């Protein structure tokens, strides 16, 4: 005659094996094992070991040179280059290049405005420039019938003449 198990035995097995089958409900869902934490630390150390051996000094302020080349805009009263901490008004004749070096301490958006008689103006697309980007940029300005065109900001690799 087969041995009969009682329902209480099944309940006992369920209570004993349930914690092994299901995750702990009291444990934080983002918690990880000690082995995975150690592995993450090793990856972090491997990826950043060169930064610890060669720590480059970065001054708070740095120099940024921007140039504006006026191809054929002859009706402009003035040009205005705007940034968070710097604004400069200038005039550049058609066919000439205006270059200025700024002392900046953070990244930001640079925008060029061209002012025309009659309170009309044209606004260039914004360009974000940071310390880690290039140190000399140039933009070109064109005049089309009834509109002004702006080139993208380009890196300057050689000195202007």
Query: What does the chain come to in residues?
Result: 161
> pLDDT of 54-78, one tens digit each?
556 666 788 889 999 999 998 889 9
Question: Taking the domains of the chain in order of start, what are their residue ranges?
Answer: 62-155
CATH class of 62-155: mainly beta
Say if residue 154's pLDDT is above 60.
yes
Identify which has the larger pLDDT, 132 or 99: 99
Rg, C-alpha atoms of the chain: 33
pLDDT at 40 over 70: no
With 0.85 as the threshold, say if the pTM is over it. no
d(CA 76, CA 114): 6
């Amino acid at each position: 005659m087969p041995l009969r198990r009682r329902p209480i035995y099944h309940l006992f097995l369920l209570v004993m094996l349930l914690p092994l089958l299901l995750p702990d409900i009291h444990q934080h869902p983002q918690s990880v094992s000690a082995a995975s934490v150690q592995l993450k630390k090793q990856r972090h150390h491997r990826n950043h070991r060169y930064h610890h051996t060669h720590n480059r000094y970065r001054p708070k302020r740095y120099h940024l040179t921007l140039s504006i080349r006026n191809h054929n805009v002859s009706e402009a009263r003035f040009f205005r280059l705007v940034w968070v901490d710097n604004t400069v008004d200038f005039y550049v004749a058609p066919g000439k290049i205006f270059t200025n070096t700024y002392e900046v301490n953070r990244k930001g958006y640079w925008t060029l405005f061209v002012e025309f008689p009659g309170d009309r103006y044209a606004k260039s697309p914004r360009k974000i420039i940071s310390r880690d980007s290039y140190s000399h940029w140039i933009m070109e300005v064109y005049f089309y019938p009834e509109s002004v065109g702006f080139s993208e900001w380009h890196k300057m690799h050689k000195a202007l003449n």
